[in-house]
Amino acid sequence: MNKSILNKKLLGSLILAMALTACKSTPMVDKPTAVEDKSPKAETTTQPAASGADTSGVKDAAVSGNPLTDPNNILSKRSIYFDFDKDTVKEEFRPLVEAHAKYLAEHANAKVTLQGNADERGTREYNLALGQRRSVAVKKSLNLLGAQDKQIETVSFGEEKATPNCKDDACHQLNRRVDIVYDNE
Amino acid sequence: MKKLFGIFQSIIFFVVALTSSTVNAALEIEISGGSAQQIPIAIVPFGQAGTSSQDKIGDIIAADLRRSGLFRVLETGGVASQPTDISQVKYAEWAALQAQAITVGNIAALPGNRLKVTFKLADVLKQTQLASMEYNIAPNQLRLTAHKIADVIYQKLTGEGAIFASRVAYINKSKGRYALQVADADGVNPQTVVSSNEPIISPAWSPDGSKIAYVSFEKKKPIIFVQSLTTGQRLTLANFKGNNSAPSWSPDGRKLAIVLTHSANSQIYTINADGTGLKQLTKSSTIDTEPEWSPDGKWIYFTSDRGGNPQIYKVSSIGGEAQRVTFQGDHNLSPHFSPDGKSLAMVRNNGGKYSIALQDLMSGQVQLLSDGADDESPSFAPNGRVVLYATRAGGRGALAAVSSDGRVRQRLSESGGDIREPSWGPLLN
């Protein structure tokens, strides 16, 4: 990997680290212009199947299977979990977010829907808004690492898909999440 | 006849046990707590000679009055005379039963398959007539007429406004399917307005009761529809990018306040009832949701966490600076107005317990109306006297009702389905 790409990766990680520790009252409407990925996209040319195996490792190829569903690939992990009433993307999910952002940056035609969820405590409409705020937080993180706005839709199910009758936080916790769903899955 | 709420009930505090049931009771209504003074009333079975009505009109009236907690309905079977008109009433017999009021009535067949219902209400002690009504109806309007009669009795004897001739909407989740249903205020005759495999939330009645707005996830994202209850036709009110939810009608029925997220976080907008004229009302970087129009049309109250935690705020309905309204408890959400605009019901979170609270808007005083761990969705009856809300019982959603002074509480539990999001509709004409 050449130096300019390495620097960009470090810069991207740094920005992500800052975003992840930002408190939730940071205005949502800021556009991160300084860190937009200006390098040529990795796959601007389509690769005809007949031209043989692809050595870059990031493209889908008949030989290696779909990284999005390969259980050995972090891209097959799709859920980011949150603390109660919070929308901050925690440190432990940084590698996951980075991996998906990179995939989106490198596959301009790929699109995702970020589905935000909340646990069932509190009112349905408030939880709908909280779920949305979580998906927007993940979208921001993806944007910072090169995914484009048009590749990402954010929706919320609030508490509507939550496991009902949770007795403890270990159960509630599983409902406080954003799921990354790729189009055409 | 389909029935959602049964009428088997036992009153804890009074000698006369009332156990009447017209259909298989699917529900138990427990009335806990008692009103200070209950009016003892005798409801003499209506004469129904020559009519084929299955519904015993007297039973429907009795159930309504009993459910209000303000009446003690007396057994009339043991009394020798069964008058159907005031002229036949032997007041001494009824006074001996401790009755303070008596109703008598009759249903007669009319040509063209119609019915004439007459009813009179009298004061037993003063031996005077208090009310007299006559209705010319189609047979399928008999239940509604019973509710209207109950309302006449209720208004005359308590001074409170009408309540029984109304309907409630709620979501019934059963076997993985969601149905928005509308039933009579006594739970009878639930009709499905719309059903789906995906969630439906936030039903909201138009002020004239002809339409209902709701949020459906049928297209895998929340979208607001407005559906006519008479024709069944519906309009997509809002399907902007992101979420569309939390519809609340203006008192004149011309606009709705809604919540959109197309600018990122949940913000409040107003929109015409035909889906045109979208205008942004709140502009914050936090969650603003659950708008509720005040009955005078001047304010929109809403839930916001701009202060760090969810609390209730208000903003002029034409826009401006928001002011905070709630200051007690950890969180306050989901404002719902009493019809007279003087009190606000809400969901309060205190130490992780979500209960229904009522705030007097003049004095700022707050009282807790419920003590559940997971109560939400408060909705006032049209007379402001009762608050319907969603609670949980036996691992399932159920409806409950509490008098606005907090003294009489009823739980309506149901044997199938998971009920949530109740909304009390306006009085029926």
Burial of B255 (0-12, 13-18, 19+ CB in 10 A): buried
What pTM was estimated for this model as a whole?
0.82
Say whether both B395 and B412 belong to one domain. Answer: yes
Cβ neighbour number for residue A91 with a 10 Å cutoff: 11
- State whether B261 and B397 are in the same domain: yes
Written as six digits, the tokens of B83 are: 């008058």
Asked if residue B26 belongs to a domain, the reply is no
Measured CA angle at B198 (ends B204, B393), to 5 deg? 70
* Domain presence at residue B12: no
Is A90 at the interface with chain B, CB within 8 A?
no
Is B333 within 8 Å of A126 when comparing Cβ atoms? yes
Is B265 within 8 Å of A28 when comparing Cβ atoms?
Answer: yes
Q: Give the separation between CA B162 and CA B150, rounded to whole angstroms.
A: 9
A contact test, residue of B223, B261, B309, B332 with most A CBs within 10 A: B261
Between β-strands B101-110 and B386-393, what pairing exists: parallel, antiparallel or unpaired?
A: unpaired
- Which of A114, A121, A126 is the mutation pick for testing B, counting most B CBs within 10 A? A126
What Å distances lie between residue B308 and A126, B136, B285, B304, B376, CA to CA? 14, 58, 11, 9, 21
Residues B102, B228, single domain; the answer is: no
Q: Which of B158, B175, B199 is the last residue of a domain?
A: B158
Q: Which of residues 118-137 of A touch B (CB under 8 A)?
A: 120-126, 128-130, 132-133, 136
Is B17 among the domain residues? no
Q: What is the Cα–Cα distance from B178 to B297, expressed in whole angstroms?
A: 32
pLDDT in tens, A121-168: 999 999 999 999 999 999 999 999 999 999 998 989 999 999 988 889
A133 → chain B, closest CA residue? B265
Are the beta carbons of A133 and B352 separated by less than 8 Å? no
Residue A51 lies in a domain: no
On the 0-12 / 13-18 / 19+ scale of CB atoms within 10 A, B161 is middle
Cα B412 from Cα B405, distance rounded (Å):
19
Same structural domain, B371 and B406 = yes
Condensed to tens digits (0 to 9), the pLDDT of residues B39-83 reads 999 999 999 876 776 678 999 999 889 878 789 999 888 777 889
Q: For residue B93, tell me if it sits in a domain.
A: yes
Structural domain of A11:
3-22+67-182
Q: Which of the residues A86, A128, A163, A171 would you substitute to probe the B interface, choosing the one with the greatest number of B C-beta atoms within 10 Å?
A: A128
pLDDT digits (tens, 9 = 90+) for B221-276: 999 999 999 999 999 999 998 899 999 999 999 999 999 998 779 999 999 999 99
Are B383 and B252 in a shared domain? yes
**Residue B50 belongs to domain with CATH number:** 3.40.50.10070
Cα distances (Å, whole numbers) of residue A5 to A1, A17, A37, A96? 7, 18, 10, 19
Query: Domain of B128?
Result: 35-158
Q: Identify any residues that bridge with A54 across adjacent strands, giving them in sequence order.
A: none
Flag whether B19 is in a domain: no
Give me the CATH number covering residue A18. Answer: 3.30.1330.60
CATH number of the domain that residue B362 is part of: 2.120.10.30
Domain count, chain B: 2
| Among candidate residues B180, B173, B191, B164, the one with its CA nearest the CA of residue B385 | B164
Mean pLDDT of A19-25: 43
User: What are the pLDDT tens digits along chain B (429 aa)?
Assistant: 444 443 323 222 222 222 222 332 233 344 555 556 789 999 999 998 767 766 789 999 998 898 787 899 998 887 778 898 989 999 999 999 999 999 999 999 999 999 999 999 999 999 999 999 999 999 999 999 999 999 999 999 999 899 999 999 999 999 999 999 999 988 888 999 999 999 999 999 999 999 999 999 999 999 999 999 999 999 999 999 889 999 999 999 999 999 999 877 999 999 999 999 999 999 999 999 999 999 999 999 999 999 999 999 999 999 999 999 999 989 999 999 999 999 999 999 999 999 999 999 999 999 999 998 999 999 999 999 899 999 988 888 999 999 898 887 887 756 568 999 999 999 998
B201 and A121 within 8 Å at the Cβ level: the answer is no
**Structural domain contains residue A103:** yes
Question: In the listed set B158, B191, B211, which residue is the last one of a domain according to the structure?
Answer: B158
Q: How many Å lie between the alpha carbon of A28 and the closest alpha carbon of chain B?
A: 6
Please indicate, yes or no, whether residues B400 and B330 belong to a single structural domain of this protein.
yes
| Chain Cα centroid distance, residue B228 | 19
Nearest residue on chain B to A169, alpha-carbon basis: B352
Residue among B222, B265, B333 minimizing CB distance to A133: B265
| Angle between helix A124-144 and A94-106 (nearest 10) | 60
Tell me, what's the pLDDT at B312?
A: 98
Smallest Cα distance from A14 to chain B, Å = 24
- Domain assignment present for A29: no
User: How do strand A112-117 and strand A152-158 relate by DSSP bridges?
Assistant: parallel
Closest CA relative to residue B36, chosen from B13, B3, B8: B13
CA atoms of B201 and B215, how far apart (whole Å): 5
- Dump pLDDT digits (tens) for A83-120: 988 889 999 999 999 999 999 999 999 999 999 999 99
Beta strands in B282-363, from DSSP E residues, in sequence order: 288-293, 299-304, 311-316, 323-324, 331-337, 343-350, 353-360
- Taking the Cβ of residue B354 and every Cβ of chain A, the question of whether any pair is shorter than 8 Å is answered with yes
Judge whether B30 lies within some domain.
Answer: no
Q: Which of B140, B158, B176 is the last residue of a domain?
A: B158
Residue B22 counted as domain residue: no
In chain A, the number of structural domains is 1
Which residue in A29, A125, A160 is closest to B263 by CB distance? A29
B293 and B172, same structural domain? Answer: yes
Q: Are B178 and B134 contained in the same domain?
A: no
Distance CA A99, CA B333 (A): 38
Q: How far apart are CA B148 and CA B164, in angstroms?
A: 7
ipTM for the assembly: 0.88
User: Which residues in chain B are contacts of A155 at CB distance < 8 A?
Assistant: 220-222, 242-243
